[in-house]
Chains A and B, each alone.
Chain A
Amino acid sequence: MNENEAAVRPASRKEKRPTARKDMTKIGWTLHEMRRGKMGYFLVAPFMILFFIFTVLPVLLSIFFSFTIFNMLEPPEWIFLDNYISLFLDDDIFLIAVKNTLIFASITGPGSYLLSLLFAWFINELTPKLRSVMTLFFYAPSISGGAYMIWQLMFTTDQHGIVNGLLMKAGVISQPIAFFQNPDYIFPLIIVIALWTSLGTSFLVFIAGFQTVNRDLYEAAAIDGIRNRWQELWYVTLPMMKPQMMFGAIMAITGSFGFGGIITALVGFPSPDYCAHTIMHHLSDYGGTRMEMGYASAIAVILFFMMIGANLLVRKLLDKVGK
């Protein structure tokens, strides 16, 4: 794969740089370049070997196992598409998981992305000291370990929880509400908590991005007829920040598909009526508990393509910024 890709590249530039390579074949030139660049391979190898073992290989193996029945004890048995067929036709809980994951990701993904972008922009207008304090405030929830458990304490089932206690004292409710047991409350609460913890790497990327925009551009834009801050953001700032927005989007999308752990910690597994059951939960149920590796791999493959698909879609959308 690697060599094939490499073999194509120098040929496409053949016209631009007529050098000694004219005398060689494509493959000969590539080998020559590879020999010259052996230090590069040598330095990149340790990382790439581990990366291959722990990231590339698992993806390829998952795709293979997803066509089999595999319980880790006996050798895998080839059943082709049966896992996928039973996922979509027989497994009602999987369909709930898909629905929940899609709703959850389509709210928290764009939500966290827009919050990060908007607040990074607001914060950028502050004085440097205030800016670093505000950055800390917004970023802290995403790094403070299990701090989201405090939400469980705030929404405790009895009157000692601060939310129930205050609502009861104010006379809004007479009985404490079991927030984390009632499906009506769980989903919105989880989304709020997910957004609370989601101003992470992409937020920092935007904070840094706004600072790198050249100030002179704003004066030039004002002369060209930019009249308010929103126009300035859309036509001047964001196009300059497109690379950062690209990277921020990747981080936000990957994050929005990965909140399963927080959900389990807050509402337990399985959640009441499967109201917060996501594909991640289904995956760890079959892969971790039931040891049905073939079936679990099929779930993993679907999740993989959902995430890659969402990323490629968003990259397309981001091309429209500033137009």
Chain B
Amino acid sequence: MAKERVSKLRIRKSNHALNRSAAGDFGINLMLLIFAAFMVIPLIYSIMQAFKPLNELFLYPPRFFVVSPTLKNFKDLFRLMGTSWVPFSRYIFNTAFIAIVGTFGNVMLSSLAAYSLAKLKYPGRKFLFNMIVYSLMFNSTVTGICNFLTISWLGLVDTYFAIIIPAWCSTTGLYLMKQFMESSVPDEVLESARLDGASEARVLWTIAMPMVKPAWLTLIIFSFQGLWGTGASIYIYSEQLKSFSYAMGQVLAGGIARSGAGAASGVIMMIVPILVFVVSQSNIIETMSTSGLKG
């Protein structure tokens, strides 16, 4: 009986996947297509807007697709950048500095802590990890008010570090890194390295870290994406310390005359994180596969 079933299964599997009906496949793919369109159309529309000349931007009835694409909006944007009070390169530097230093610190501190929580044994490490998990359950709105006090007491207001240092201890990254390290670095490898006389720092740096490459790539990308979008911050009021995203927002806020340049700035802001994701997708997915929370 059972044998018969198995052979039936084999036959079915050869022309169709297990437990899948053709009608179901059709329905599901249709839904997938509709929702994919819903997700992508606004993004495509914003790209279209960026390449439309002024008369097409204010056409009635409005058209979705661009008819005679132009780079004028991008040229306008760069011209506007050239005339801003603070040189535009300064905004780019600000964002780059915040993103690079913030990401570097976050990856370093998270790696050290994740290794310690995942692979070293000492009293209290479960408690520390539980605190990290609880911290994932609320967002920074709750801590915002007191952080404003802390940051002013520390004298960090109106410096890059008001944004950078809180980014160093973002817990999502540590959580992902710890889970990945726990499941993809075997204890025996670490133990044999220790028996060979390697110091803990050496074990971490030359054995554990190369094995968790997908995890730290993911951390780099998440942290970078978060910091790239840093907009106006309550901690920073000097114009020359403000971010690229803030400056782009100012272009957009310039009213109807700048609609074209505004659309171009929107495209620049969105294209960078998307490209970064395209390049790193497989590493991120690999990291996510170990992200589960037991219990």
* B269 engages A58 (CB within 8 Å): no
**Bound complex: CA A38 to CA B60 (Å):** 71
Interface membership of A187, Cβ < 8 A: no
* B174 engages A2 (CB within 8 Å): no
Interface membership of B255, Cβ < 8 A: no
**Bound complex: CA A144 to CA B277 (Å):** 10
Distance (Å) between the CB of B105 and the closest chain A CB? 9
- Which of A43-51, A91-99, A178-186 makes up part of the contact surface? A43-51
Interface membership of B168, Cβ < 8 A: yes
A222 and B293 in contact, given A196-B42, A307-B139 (Cβ under 8 angstroms): no
A287 and B144 in contact, given A162-B62, A253-B137 (Cβ under 8 angstroms): yes
Note all chain B residues with C-beta closer than 8 A to A267: none
One digit per residue, 1 when the CB lies within 8 angstroms of any chain A CB and 0 when it does not, for chain B 26-56 equals 0011011001101110110110010000000
- Which of A16-24, A80-88, A224-232, A269-277 makes up part of the contact surface? A224-232
A40 and B139 in contact, given A2-B127, A138-B39, A145-B245 (Cβ under 8 angstroms): no
Note all chain B residues with C-beta closer than 8 A to A47: 109-110, 112-113, 168-169, 174
- Which of B76-84, B184-192, B280-288 makes up part of the contact surface? B280-288
In the complex formed, the residue of A with least CB distance to B199 is A39
Interface membership of A69, Cβ < 8 A: no
* B145 engages A58 (CB within 8 Å): yes
Interface membership of B171, Cβ < 8 A: yes
Within 147-188 of B, Cβ neighbours of A (below 8 Å) are at 147-150, 165-166, 168-169, 171-172, 174
Note all chain B residues with C-beta closer than 8 A to A14: none
Note all chain A residues with C-beta closer than 8 A to B57: 160
Contact among A9, A10, A140, A149 for B274, CB-based, below 8 A:
A140
Contact among B21, B43, B64, B295 for A140, CB-based, below 8 A:
B43
Interface membership of B94, Cβ < 8 A: no
* A125 engages B145 (CB within 8 Å): no
A46 and B113 in contact, given A2-B124, A5-B124, A204-B288 (Cβ under 8 angstroms): yes
Within 105-135 of B, Cβ neighbours of A (below 8 Å) are at 109-110, 112-113, 115-117, 120-128, 131-135
Distance (Å) between the CB of B285 and the closest chain A CB? 5
* A43 engages B62 (CB within 8 Å): no
One digit per residue, 1 when the CB lies within 8 angstroms of any chain B CB and 0 when it does not, for chain A 209-224 equals 1011000001100110
Distance (Å) between the CB of A90 and the closest chain B CB? 21
**Bound complex: CA A150 to CA B266 (Å):** 8
A304 and B174 in contact, given A36-B122, A222-B9 (Cβ under 8 angstroms): no
* B43 engages A204 (CB within 8 Å): no
* A34 engages B144 (CB within 8 Å): no
- For the complex, count residues of B whose C-beta is within 8 A of A: 107
* A39 engages B200 (CB within 8 Å): yes
Note all chain A residues with C-beta closer than 8 A to B263: 153
Most chain B CB inside 10 Å of its own CB: which residue of A10, A55, A218: A55
Distance (Å) between the CB of A304 and the closest chain B CB? 5
Interface membership of A191, Cβ < 8 A: no
Interface membership of A33, Cβ < 8 A: yes
Q: How many A-B residue pairs have CB under 8 A?
A: 331
In the complex formed, the residue of B with least CB distance to A37 is B122
Interface membership of A257, Cβ < 8 A: yes
Interface membership of A107, Cβ < 8 A: no
Note all chain B residues with C-beta closer than 8 A to A246: 292-295
Interface membership of B252, Cβ < 8 A: yes
Contact among B40, B42, B278, B286 for A154, CB-based, below 8 A:
B42
* B274 engages A55 (CB within 8 Å): no
A209 and B121 in contact, given A43-B116, A54-B166, A166-B61 (Cβ under 8 angstroms): no
* B292 engages A242 (CB within 8 Å): yes
Distance (Å) between the CB of A50 and the closest chain B CB? 4
Contact among A161, A288, A303 for B142, CB-based, below 8 A:
A303
Interface membership of A109, Cβ < 8 A: no
Note all chain B residues with C-beta closer than 8 A to A232: 18-19
Q: List 18 A-B contacts (CB under 8 A).
A: A1-B127, A33-B122, A34-B122, A47-B112, A47-B168, A122-B28, A125-B28, A140-B39, A140-B274, A145-B229, A146-B269, A154-B42, A160-B57, A160-B60, A241-B292, A287-B145, A293-B149, A304-B138
Q: Which residues of B line the A interface, CB within 8 A?
A: 2, 5-6, 9, 17-21, 24-25, 28-29, 31-32, 35-36, 38-40, 42-43, 45-46, 49, 57-62, 64, 109-110, 112-113, 115-117, 120-128, 131-139, 141-150, 165-166, 168-169, 171-172, 174, 200, 204, 225, 228-229, 231, 234, 245, 248-249, 252, 263, 266, 269-271, 273-274, 277-278, 281-282, 284-289, 291-295
Given A3-B123, A54-B166, output 10 extra A-B contacts at Cβ < 8 Å. Answer: A46-B113, A51-B171, A136-B274, A138-B39, A140-B40, A145-B269, A146-B245, A222-B19, A293-B145, A300-B145
